[in-house]
Structures are given as C-alpha cells and as structure tokens.
Amino acid sequence: MASQPTCEAIANHYRERILSGELEPGAKLPSNRELCGTWGVAAATVSRAFQALVVEHYVRTTPRGTFVADDPRWTLTPRDRLARVQRVKSFLAEGETSIVLAAELIRPPLYVAEIFDLSHGDQAVRREWVAGRGRTRTIYAVTWYAAASLAAAPELLNTAPSRNHTMTSKVLEATGRKITHARDDMHARSAKAHEANHLGIPVGANILAGAHRWSDGNGVIEYGEWCLPQLMTIGYEYRP
C-alpha cells in the first residue's frame, strides 16, 4: 500500500507550481476540503503544508480562501536560475524583470582574475544588474565573464533590459561551451551603501549575499556575486 503524502510533499508541489509561474500571483488555491480529497490526507496535514507556504510568503489566507501572494517574497537560487537557463534560456523567474546598471570591459579585481585564470593586465566583462517583481526588488547582482567570451558574444556589453535575462544562454551558444559544474557560496551580512540603494533597503540592513561559479572542463564560464533583501526566501530540494 502506498504511503500517504506528507505535508512537505504537498508544500513542495504548490511551491514548485508557484515558482514555475504555473500558479500566478492572485490565483486562488483549492479549499482545504478539496485538497484533503485530492491528496487523501487529513485536514491537519493540509493545514501544516499551507502554514509553511504562508511563512515563506508564497501564499496568503483570507476569509475568502487561500491565494498566491500578490507580491511574493521569494526569488530563485543560483541552482534554480541555471536550471531555467538550461530549460527556457532565461535566468529570471516568472514575473521578474531586470534593469542593467552597467556593462563594461575592465581590469577585474585580483580575485576575479584568479577565478578566470587571467594573466596580469587581462580584462573581463562586468555586468551589474538588479531584478524585481512588482514593487519588490528580488536581487542585486554583478556577473563576470572572461574577455574571450566577448569576441563570440558582443552582446555582453549591451545594456538593454530585454537582452539581460538571456545573456548566459547567449554566451553558451556563442562560445559552444556547456556548464558541467556549478558551485554556490552564501553568507549573511549587512548591506553596503550601494547594495542598499539598489535593493531599496536601509544601509546596514540584513541581507543574504552569495556567489556562484558556473564552469566546464576549460574553466569558469560565469562568476556572479549577488545579494537578496531581508526576508526574501530561497530554497532548494536535495536527496539525503
């Protein structure tokens, strides 16, 4: 006999549908009675599942029912952004838009040069951007590419918002490379002045900052540093 779904399984199901855009902001979810029948579980199991989604700001409850949050406080992990690049060529979540603050060919900081294994004096492409959903800023980021990628993908210096979300995909297509290894590092700290300005939060507010490295056998393809405003939720699944 198959085991009953857990509250975690139910929460994951609706979280993924919201993240994918299948359930849009404001969409009404089935009633607890309907969910109990659909999943074959007790009301307490459904209640715990949706309590988790409320805490994570994916949904809101009202006397009229449960709805996907109008201005949800979630964004994608680098892992999820890479998965979207591979699936739909865009690193933005459904409903996110972005603004490019800068796109330039410069001499990078020493640590960035070392990440790309650049020689002294070599340049790299630096792209600075911010994304948001509705009134909420979801991420401030700086992404780096080796100058060699610019020859194949001159659009790296394009600042048009409509081009930003597919930039990683365009670099991969232009260079013929494929990301085979990825690593994320994260830490909590206070927002610096320029980060706070772009995220619309007070200087010194708590943020989650991180960096990702996407590479293949020939080295790093994209290195990015990013930060999220306080109370922004990110998450991912893994097999123990």
Q: What is the pLDDT of residues 92-111, one digit of tens each?
A: 988 899 999 999 999 999 99
Q: Output the furthest CA–CA distance in the chain (Å, rounded).
A: 66
Q: Is the pLDDT of residue 235 over 90?
A: no
Q: What is the pLDDT of residues 171-213, one digit of tens each?
A: 999 999 999 999 999 999 999 999 999 999 999 999 999 999 9
- Alpha-carbon distance of 19 to 192, in angstroms, equals 29
- Decide which of 43 and 55 is more confident: 43
pLDDT the model gives residue 191: 97
Per-residue pLDDT band for 72 (boundaries 50, 70, 90) equals low
Pairing status of strand 124-133 against strand 206-216? unpaired
Report the C-alpha dihedral over residues 227, 235, 164, 83, rounded to 10 degrees.
140
- On whether the pTM is more than 0.85, the answer is no
Share of the chain above pLDDT 70, in %: 97
User: What are the structure tokens assigned to 182, written together?
Assistant: 């990825």
Do 172 and 178 touch, CB atoms closer than 8 A? yes
Report pLDDT for 106: 98
The mean pLDDT value for 133-148 works out to 92
Average pLDDT, the chain: 91
Residue 234 has pLDDT above 90, yes or no: no
Residue ranges covered by each domain of the chain: 7-68, 78-229
**pLDDT (mean) for 143-163:** 95
- Give the fold, CATH level 3, of 7-68: Arc Repressor Mutant, subunit A (1.10.10)
CATH says 78-229 is which class?
Answer: alpha beta
Tell me, yes or no, if the two domains 7-68 and 78-229 fold the same way. no
Q: Is the pLDDT of residue 1 over 60?
A: no
Percent of the chain with pLDDT over 90: 71
